[in-house]
């Protein structure tokens, strides 16, 4: 739940898009949410399975930011 942010445009999360080995770019993804449970906050739309959500340091994130990652690049 702490990864879901909200502003005048609605609720959103920051995700990492792998670019090359060890590097990625931050993107903002608008999301819709459902119920909050002991397992967390349900995301009902806006994300695909396998999307990598940023879960810490969101106050320093912005779209287009280059980040280090251990994610594999997508083909």
Tokens of 52: 């990598």
This prediction's pTM: 0.85
The pLDDT of residue 24 is: 93
Residue 12 pLDDT greater than 60, yes or no: yes
The pLDDT of residue 54 is: 94
**DSSP structure string for the chain:** -TT-EEETTEEEEEEEEEEETTEEEEEEEE-EEEEEETTEEEEEES--TT-EE--S-GGG--TT-EEE--PPPP-
Question: Strand 23-30 vs strand 40-45: parallel, antiparallel, or unpaired?
Answer: unpaired
pLDDT tens digits for range 14-35: 999 988 888 999 999 999 999 9
pLDDT tens digits for range 31-74: 999 999 999 999 999 999 989 999 999 899 999 999 998 866 55
Angle 7-57-64 from CA coordinates, rounded to 5°: 70
The pLDDT of residue 38 is: 92
């Amino acid at each position: 739940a702490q990864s879901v942010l909200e502003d005048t445009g609605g609720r959103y999360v920051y995700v990492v898009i792998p670019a090359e080995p060890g590097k990625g770019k931050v993107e903002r993804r608008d999301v819709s949410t459902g119920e909050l449970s002991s397992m967390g906050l349900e995301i009902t739309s806006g994300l695909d399975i396998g999307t990598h959500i940023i879960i810490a340091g969101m106050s320093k994130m912005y779209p287009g930011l280059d980040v280090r990652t251990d994610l594999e690049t997508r083909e």
